[in-house]
Amino acid sequence: MAFAGGIVSWFSLPSLVWWSAFCVVCGVLGAAAAAPWSGREHYPQLLRALLVLPLLAMAGCLAIWARSTVIGEPPLDHPIAGTFAARVLEIEPQPALDRDRLILAMREPGTGRAIKVRVNVPGKNLAAHVGIGDVVRFKGRLMPPAPPMLPGAYNFARTAWFAGIAGSGSVIGEVEVVEPGAVPAGWLSGLRRSLADHIRARIGDERAGIATAFVTGDRGGISKADDEAMRDSGLAHLLSVSGLHVGAVVGAVYVLFVRVLALSPWLALRVRLPVAAAA
């Protein structure tokens, strides 16, 4: 809890000066608890708490601070429009919204800074002619990540910062492949996309959204009405990569280990295979 409190403090405090002051105060409290002052032997539990809790809070603040410094991506200074060339990092089909989403690596016009952007491409089945690793050219408009519309609302700017995304926008017209990717996409992401496409082809886009989310965690095919219904029923957590998927993986690994260990008669007669597989 103290470590999480340090993380929350970093998000709550407004600037670097306040973050530094928080860490200094935590360090002073920890040092005071460790100091050899008289009478400390009468309060061992209290002193242990005063030593450990401030240090954990300081560690949480420093951890999220370091993550922000290493991973955080400064946003675009202003909106830009034009023709851009970029390399495709990810493809996220969103048939329920009649679009596909691309994560691209490109150079910021004017500065040459290497940035990562997220763009929406109208239409479906972009992956039929665009692959991960391809260099593409497109016309579009890029915007800095939007801050929350209201206090306490969803903060896309903060999410984009920690995701390394400097801007987002939309594509106008077609996406042209300039150079096919030299390195093929990872087999796992390709398998995930192929499985999602297979489910959509079998049962149709309108009904495949929830089924695809259950199997692959891809929520791009879920319609707004179905999403709201799942939220209202308290089942929305099942649509993301959560305990359902983790439990399925653990169960599959467990069964696999039991079957493999049972192939040895010596182990099957001398070892409790379910316990060994669970370990």
Q: Tens digit of pLDDT for each residue in 21-80?
A: 999 998 888 888 777 777 666 777 777 887 888 889 999 999 988 988 888 888 888 899
Residue 233 confidence (pLDDT) above 60: yes
Residue where a domain terminates, one of 52, 71, 90: 71
Is 130 in the same domain as 173?
yes
Cα(257)–Cα(115) distance, integer angstroms:
44
147 & 199 share domain: no
Domain check: are 169 and 91 in the same one?
A: yes
For residues 99 and 34, what is the distance between their CA atoms, to the nearest angstrom?
59
183-209 average pLDDT score:
72
Give the list of residues 6+ apart from residue 165 with CB closer than 8 angstroms, or none. 73, 103, 116, 117, 118, 145
Q: Are residues 147 and 223 in the same domain?
A: no
Q: Are residues 58 and 106 located together in one domain of the fold?
A: no
Contact predicate 204/187, CB 8 Å: no
- Pull the structure tokens for residue 228: 């709201």
**222 and 263 in a common domain:** no
Residues across the chain: 279
149 with 95, same domain?
Answer: yes
Q: Which of 184, 177, 174 is nearest to 132 (CA)?
A: 184
Please list, residue by residue across 82-104, b when 16 or more beta carbons sit within 10 angstroms of its beta carbon and e when fewer do.
eebebebeebbbbbbbebbbbbb
Q: What is the mean pLDDT of the chain?
A: 82
Give the N- to C-terminal CA distance of the chain in Å, as an integer.
29
pLDDT reported for residue 32: 82
More confident residue, 242 or 259: 259
- Cα 52 to chain centroid distance, Å, stands at 30
Tens digit of each residue's pLDDT (9 = 90 or more) over 203-231: 776 777 777 777 777 777 777 777 778 77
Identify whether residues 172 and 191 lie together within a single domain: no
- Single out the residue in 133, 160, 179 at which a domain terminates: 179
Q: Are residues 54 and 91 in the same domain?
A: no
Instruction: Using alpha carbons, list the distances in angstroms from residue 167 to 18, 83, 173, 192, 194.
Output: 28, 15, 19, 26, 28
pLDDT at position 102 over 80: yes
Alpha carbon distance 271, 267 (integer Å)? 5
CATH number at residue 127: 2.40.50.140
Residue with tokens 């700017």: 157
pLDDT of residue 116: 92
Asked whether residue 116 falls in the same domain as residue 153, the answer is yes
Percent of the chain with pLDDT over 70: 90
Q: In 3D, which of 64, 49, 53 has the Cα closest to residue 9? A: 64
What residue numbers bound the domain in which 149 lies? 80-179
The answer to whether residues 214 and 147 belong to one domain is no
Nearest residue to 218 (alpha-carbon basis) of 236, 201, 200, 241:
241
Cα 138 to Cα 169, 178, 217: the distances in Å are 12, 10, 29
Look-up of token digits 């690994």: 253
| Distance of alpha carbon 167 from alpha carbon 14, whole angstroms | 23
Number of structural domains (the chain) is 4
For 2, residues 6+ apart whose C-beta sits below 8 A from its C-beta are: 52, 53, 54, 56, 57, 60
Of residues 125 and 113, more confidence is placed in 113
For residues 49 and 103, membership in a common domain is answered with no
**Nearest by Cα to 144 from 108, 180, 179, 110:** 108
